Chain A
């Protein structure tokens, strides 16, 4: 009993503390190292990388890979397409999701449970790939930019997050006061709900934007035109299908071609992932909130 208050730490707790810190360092290293490796490999001589001599610091620094990328029109075309899909797609997502979430959050709206079921059912049961493909095909939307923008205009999970947020963090009194002032649903939504939903807006914009940025599947299945191909499809051609790079000096200059093609790979990974990572610090503080809101009524 004397020990309490004296801040004496028992041996068991000391060992525990050390083990926890050691494990966290291990996990930190395991997560960080591959990312770090891509960065140093993208600016090192690829021959040394392939020989396994580049491990922790870049060696024989060169920016050949980045130069090649700047000259490759496919990447920029893909970049541009992806940018269109991300910006227009995410705006559409928000315009569709937020009003619907608001309507579903109104307690006085009697049909809301039935409408909610209408949405939630699609989370657990779907027509499957082929019928979806046939439907899109019947609408003449295969291989158009439109389908890559509107596909998954509303994600039920995100809809639930938004609804739960509006329901739980915007006081009901505000609505009653607004109604007394003669506010309609529209003006209450635009003037009160949207300004007060900054946290959930940020979370949803992040989720939707990352979805569009990383979307590969929809572009693979519903598009076959090269001119509509988003960055991820172009990346696959360069990174996984081993297509010769645009300027095409593959293997011509005695090994130099191959090694620079490898450097291009690392550089492409960096260039394609960087934008997402740049936005990341700004939205990170909202993550926890967003995930928690979603968890209340998964």
Chain B
């Protein structure tokens, strides 16, 4: 008898608590609902669909009903000549993007931070942010126009300055693809990416500068010993995030810059997934290549995060 009564009270109080919880929180859950639903359908359902990479695809059975084939499509990718080419190209492009593209905004921010004339400082800032808003399609067509063989202004300037051999077709040469991709990328995004460093620099305690002056340090030394250490934590966080994306070479720009002459260096994993997975409808194969890409990215993110945690104490997770 007693135990029965007890259970009833527990149930009641549990029900009561649940009711109270919902009275307090149903509005919050309702506000979260659209966003959570969207993420469920467009992010988590596709994750469930990853199993396509291990199955045969057929129109009748859909994503999850095909015959289980295990690692067949991964094997097919690893054994194809495109495996090495796409992996190598992706690595080369992202490696140089990070090596050249990552320090550029830091240096830019340091320079802008040192400008004494407020008006000029503002003008430079406003101008360097603009290219970020140019769409990839426009960006690539600007590249095509500026570096066109014969009529391209920038191409001709580089040739006149003997930075590029006079007879090179910049747009059609494989060895010119990576520098072109990376440097135009720096042109476009260095200003935008510098905002965060400029903001970090502007919050440095001015007492530190005064102390430096009294110690007789010049501006170069002040920059090196006060400004730079102040933005190191920001640099580390951004570096980890960049490393996590090492194999996420932006699809758009590479795809649009591709032409028959540079395909040997410009076919990266993401464009390959698009061309085999969607364009030629080899869904299972495309899914397998895509999954491989995601896993490597994930691996890099975890490793850099771990290294950064151990060495500097800053990390994402």
- Chain A residues with CB under 8 Å of chain B are 4, 10, 12-13, 16-17, 20-21, 23-24, 27-28, 30-32, 34-35, 37-38, 41, 49-52, 55, 95-97, 99-100, 102-104, 106, 109, 115, 118-119, 122, 124-136, 138-139, 150-154, 156, 159, 184-186, 189, 210, 213-214, 216-217, 221, 232, 235-236, 239-240, 265-266, 269, 272-273, 276-277, 280, 284, 287-288, 291-292, 295, 298
How far apart sit A185 and B256, CA to CA, in the bound complex (Å)? 47
B274/A129 in contact, CB under 8 A: yes
Say yes or no for B36: interface residue by CB 8 A criterion: yes
- Closest chain B residue to A154, Cβ basis: B35
User: Which 6 A-B pairs rank lowest in CB-CB distance, beginning with the nearest?
Assistant: A127-B46, A128-B290, A131-B49, A99-B31, A239-B141, A100-B35
Q: Tell me which residues from 102 to 122 in chain B have a Cβ below 8 Å from any Cβ of chain A.
A: 108, 111-112, 114-116, 120
Given contacts A126-B46, A217-B252, contact A55 B187 (CB under 8 A): no
B135/A132 in contact, CB under 8 A: no
Q: Tell me which residues from 1 to 54 in chain B have a Cβ below 8 Å from any Cβ of chain A.
A: 25, 27-29, 31-32, 34-36, 38-39, 41-50, 52
How far apart sit A16 and B142, CA to CA, in the bound complex (Å)? 35
- Chain B residues with CB under 8 Å of chain A are 25, 27-29, 31-32, 34-36, 38-39, 41-50, 52, 62-63, 108, 111-112, 114-116, 120, 123-124, 126-131, 133-138, 140-142, 144-146, 150-151, 153-154, 156, 187, 191, 195-196, 198-200, 213-214, 218-220, 234, 237-238, 241, 244, 251-252, 256, 270, 273-274, 277-278, 283, 286-287, 290-291, 293-294, 297-298, 301, 316
A38/B298 in contact, CB under 8 A: no
- Closest chain A residue to B274, Cβ basis: A129
A104/B136 in contact, CB under 8 A: no
Given contacts A27-B124, A55-B153, A291-B196, contact A134 B49 (CB under 8 A): yes
- Closest chain A residue to B250, Cβ basis: A217
A124/B298 in contact, CB under 8 A: yes
B32/A277 in contact, CB under 8 A: no
How far apart sit A168 and B278, CA to CA, in the bound complex (Å)? 44
A35/B131 in contact, CB under 8 A: yes
